[in-house]
Amino acid sequence: MTRLLIVGPQGSGKGTQGVRIADAFGVPAISTGDVFRAAVADGSDLGSQVKAIIEAGDLVSDELTSAVVRDRLSQADAAGGFLLDGYPRNLTQVMHLEEFLEGRGEELDAVIELSVPRDESIARLTLRAQEQGRTDDTEAVIANRLAIYERETAPILGVYGARGIVVQIDGVGSLDEITARIVAALDARGVKRTAAA
């Protein structure tokens, strides 16, 4: 059983690294964006609620986000562990996740924090916006997203840090270098790979 969470500001590469680490440890990478899209696609009650909120341009509530993630974590492929990306994103969601895991007699093995300097995140996101022709991703919009991360998500690291399960990784370097750093740090913590991996 390998239960991981990857945390980092926008532009830190956590989505890419999350998939790589999940593959390396033989568990599914579960990102909130993918979970929302899947819930909407399958037309479930939860999916219909998510669809209506997203179409209205609103943020999905903590309660509904947690319900959708709980549903995803209850699926068979996550029985042997998982890597969460983008959830929990604030202290309320941390509480929801803790309650769910405790109910199953489980806990997170490690929280991977990808550390990237703010100016590096902004540079990466600005470049990505130019490459993808995303004119709405201005420097001001990007700076605002980073401010939300610093205000809402960074505090969850305090909770997990107090438990001694945060592994801080330098998020600057090539994809392979960063993946190797994460794998080495998890190995050093004794995080076990799922047998099928």
pLDDT digits (tens, 9 = 90+) for 67-77: 999 999 999 99
Q: How far apart are CA 68 and CA 74, in angstroms?
A: 10
Catalytic residue among 3, 14, 20, 124: 14
Q: What percent of the chain has pLDDT over 70?
A: 98
Q: Which CATH number fits domain 2-188: 3.30.2290.10, 3.40.50.300, 3.40.930.10, 3.40.1410.10?
A: 3.40.50.300
pTM for this structure?
A: 0.90
In the residue annotation, 70 being an active-site residue is answered as: no
In the residue annotation, 3 being an active-site residue is answered as: no
Catalytic residue among 37, 70, 128, 192: 128
- Domain residue extents for the chain: 2-188
In the residue annotation, 89 being an active-site residue is answered as: yes
Give tens-digit pLDDT for 118-133. Answer: 899 888 888 888 898 8
In the residue annotation, 14 being an active-site residue is answered as: yes
Residue 142 above 50 pLDDT? yes
In the residue annotation, 134 being an active-site residue is answered as: yes
> Strand runs (DSSP E) across the chain, as ranges?
2-7, 29-31, 81-85, 110-115, 166-170
